[in-house]
Amino acid sequence: MRRRIFAAAAGFLLGALALAGTACSKRGPARSSDWFASLPSGEIRRKLIIGCTSCHQLGPPVAYKSTAQEWEETIRKMQGFDEKLDLALIPEIDVAEVARWLEKHSKIPPHGRTVRESPADIKEYPAGPWESFYHDMEYAAGRAWIADYFGNKLYGVDPETGAVEEFAIPLNVPKGKPGGAHAINKTRDGALWITFTKAEQVARFDPVKKTFRVYSGFEKGANIQYFALDAERWVYQDPKGRIWMTQFSKEFLTRLDPRTGRIEKFSTPRTGWLPEKAVHEYAAVADSRGRLWYTETHGNRVGVLDPATRRAEEFELSEAWSGPKRLAIDTADRLWIPELAQSRILVFDTLARKVVERITLPIKGDYPYAIRRNPKNGEMWITGSGTDSLYRYDPRRKNFRIYRFPRRGAYTRTVAFDEKDNVWTCYASYPNTHTQMPFRSGVIVRLTPRD
């Protein structure tokens, strides 16, 4: 089950190069966000962002076409991938019409938008096979962790040496089939937790003893997705130690008792204008009273479930196809919701039950996938999923800083923090090969701000 391997020496040397950002970048290449910003705003663009940027960046550098025929062929091919994985990611569109719209409006801008970048040391750690997919990463027990969606393995990287430990995850899937490793987070006892969207299982990994406990019995085809987190960025545990998960393809939340393995389902309201599996009940956080707030990305809603009453209610976002995605909560019980297709953060006060702020990202056309709150200082880190960057937002001063990765196609879905004020993420394109980099592997990234 357990094997120790070391990163290829050459790969790690490359990865160890420290790349300090410049205070103000020169005119860079056009990025995915620049291309989106050049398209007419409106429902077609928002649907393209929601449907087409869920696996990889769209537009430059790698996912670009010119003619209507090429776009149409590509979109149909993508619908095929979407169907094969049974995800219903691409909303219903008139493919021929969208392809003509793209032919008419789509041009790669000659250069990217110039923004002020903050300096950082960035170190890249190769781990796992190149032709795969690493959705999430977490930092625990002095190691950075990623899991292979298709290969069903967990990789732990030593930040000092780059050495990689590899663990086969004992899932209930036939050999060669994906377990669908998805979210990775940790509980306060230091254990790692991983969801498996395809195996419909959840694993607890003890990073000190290096042992797994795998939980089964979740609903088949429901696509077990994310753990509900708390304001301190831990997996939320209720007073009895139970944890919560969202289901991507079904409108219910699941509660698991890690001691007994008991699973319970809590229904949420039907978002009737879409088939259930297209609603995409997405990410969840717990407020200070243990209520669970969740997003429906395609359903365009934010909901709240009170476990005490088993009742849930939902709020509609003001504009269709806004794409509420991977939210965070702060210690005043305010939700920080990234609106994927609006380049915006919605701040929702759960006590007043209203939107209190709308914060526009400093780079036009970007699509923020996730927001993570740094529990040490309350700063919000936002993935610049279409700009190869991370944003750092200070809620007190209300200012943004931008840290750019040294790669194009550097699509990210999460941010983690260690005890030394480093910030961590991983390149998370599906396919991983869409990130333009010198590594033939998956890549975990450590970013140390220098400002």
Q: Where along the sequence are the contacts to ligand HEC (CB under 6 A)? A: 51-52, 54-56, 58, 62-65, 74-75, 78, 81-82, 85, 87, 89-90, 430-431
Residue 287 CB, shortest distance to ligand HEC, in Å, is 32
Q: Which is nearer to ligand HEC, 48 or 443 (CB)?
A: 48
Please check whether residue 310 is in contact with residue 299, taking contact to mean a CB–CB distance below 8 angstroms.
no
Dist. CA 12–CA 159, nearest whole Å = 11
Q: Which is nearer to ligand HEC, 52 or 278 (CB)?
A: 52
Residue 354 CB, shortest distance to ligand HEC, in Å, is 33
Amino acid (1-letter code) at residue 274: L
Amino acid (1-letter code) at residue 298: H
Residue 81 CB, shortest distance to ligand HEC, in Å, is 4
Q: Which is nearer to ligand HEC, 62 or 274 (CB)?
A: 62
Residue 102 CB, shortest distance to ligand HEC, in Å, is 8
Question: Which among 215, 210, 149, 217 is positioned nearest to 184, based on CA atoms?
Answer: 149
Provide the token pair at 388. Answer: 């190869």
Q: Which is nearer to ligand HEC, 19 or 85 (CB)?
A: 85
Please check whether residue 370 is in contact with residue 414, taking contact to mean a CB–CB distance below 8 angstroms.
yes
Residue 326 CB, shortest distance to ligand HEC, in Å, is 17
Q: Which is nearer to ligand HEC, 27 or 77 (CB)?
A: 77
Dist. CA 396–CA 411, nearest whole Å = 28
Residue 70 CB, shortest distance to ligand HEC, in Å, is 8
Please check whether residue 167 is in contact with residue 204, taking contact to mean a CB–CB distance below 8 angstroms.
no
Q: Which is nearer to ligand HEC, 65 or 100 (CB)?
A: 65
Catalogue the long-range contacts made by 376-381 (C-beta closer than 8 Å, 24 or more residues apart): 376/417, 376/421, 378/330, 378/331, 380/328, 380/336, 380/345, 381/415, 381/423
Please check whether residue 117 is in contact with residue 23, taking contact to mean a CB–CB distance below 8 angstroms.
yes
